[in-house]
Amino acid sequence: MKIPKRLEPLIEEGLVDEVLRQLMSGKEASVYVVRCGEEVRCAKVYKDANRRSFRQSVQYTEGRRVKNSRRARAMEKGTRYGRQEREEAWQNAEVAALYRLAEAGVRVPQPYHFHLGVLLMELVTDENGSAAPRLNDLALSPELAREYHRGLIAEVVRMLCAGMVHGDLSEYNVLVGAGGPVIIDLPQAMDAAGNNSAEMMLERDVDNLTSYFGRFAPELRTTDYGKEIWALFKRGELLPGTALTGCFARSLKPADVAGVVQEIGAVISEEAARQQYKQSR
């Protein structure tokens, strides 16, 4: 096939020997099957920001640090340079997340290189060696739905133990390879400790999985793994392999509104007395 312009530098650098075919084109990137020496891999070519439909939300980028103060100011002001830097940081976030999660044993594609906006990584294949299908393209038996759900919940836990939340996990971001489900598409992955939306995003990820697998195994819809996982994480009790129940005991005790109002009133009174004392001196 004709070599896409964005892949030409990788061929010139010797990172890619041949472009075999286009695998898919999505909202933020196009993916190609390429040959690198004796191995077949995939190349994720990120689209320019003005050609993508996905918008970077502060919910995803909150807590991401930019060491260079000039870059940080430009990104905050939204200058042309700042938009370019923000786009590069968005792409780098996926690369960093893949390396971090692969090292932690999470089932994600193995990354190899990131060069000029192109990510070279493992091509996830099925038992026949063909490109693995997305989860949403499969019809599942109840037994297989339960198995995949259990496995992906374990991956969510392993990811959180590595300090990360996917943030956009659903049946569209999971490939089913020869060894089972593999999680993909991670540019929006967030730091669990540094992002105020992490709890909400984790629960949404789990709810998305539960809703999908619940189509094939309806009893899964009654589970509440998201809140259980986050509660264990907050208490410092979550580990890979932690036995989960799928249940979460919500407090039924009514809020002590009167007590809260009383506490607020006491604080206001103390502050008023403090200010009066300062003025009288």
- Print pLDDT tens along the chain (281 aa): 789 999 999 999 999 999 999 999 987 889 999 999 999 999 999 987 654 444 545 554 555 454 555 554 544 555 555 455 566 666 788 899 999 999 999 999 999 999 988 999 999 999 999 999 999 999 999 999 999 999 999 999 999 999 999 999 999 999 999 999 999 999 889 999 989 999 999 999 999 999 999 999 999 999 999 999 999 999 999 999 999 999 987 654 565 666 656 767 666 776 666 666 556 65
Residue of 168, 191, 224, 256 with catalytic role: 168
Q: Is residue 280 part of a domain?
A: no
pLDDT in the model for residue 92: 85
Q: Is residue 209 part of a domain?
A: yes
Domain count, the chain: 1
Q: Is residue 67 part of a domain?
A: yes
pLDDT in the model for residue 48: 73
Q: Is residue 267 part of a domain?
A: no
Q: Are 168 and 202 in contact (CB under 8 A)?
A: no
Q: Is residue 87 part of a domain?
A: yes
Q: Is residue 152 part of a domain?
A: yes
Residue 168 annotated among the catalytic residues of the structure:
yes
Closest CA to 93 of 147, 57, 140: 57
Q: Is residue 59 part of a domain?
A: yes
pLDDT in the model for residue 72: 47
CATH value at residue 105: 1.10.510.10
Tokens matching residue 195:
């992002």
Q: Is residue 197 part of a domain?
A: yes
| Spatial CB neighbours of 213, under 8 Å, sequence gap ≥ 6 | 140, 145, 146, 148, 149, 220
Residue of 17, 126, 137, 185 with catalytic role: 185
Which range marks the domain in which residue 74 is found? 5-234
Q: Are 260 and 239 in contact (CB under 8 A)?
A: no
pTM: 0.77
Q: Which stretches of 26-135 are assigned E, i.e. beta strand?
A: 29-36, 39-46, 111-115, 118-122
pLDDT in the model for residue 54: 46
Q: How far is CA 55 from CA 59, 71, 117, 141, 241, in A?
A: 11, 20, 17, 35, 35
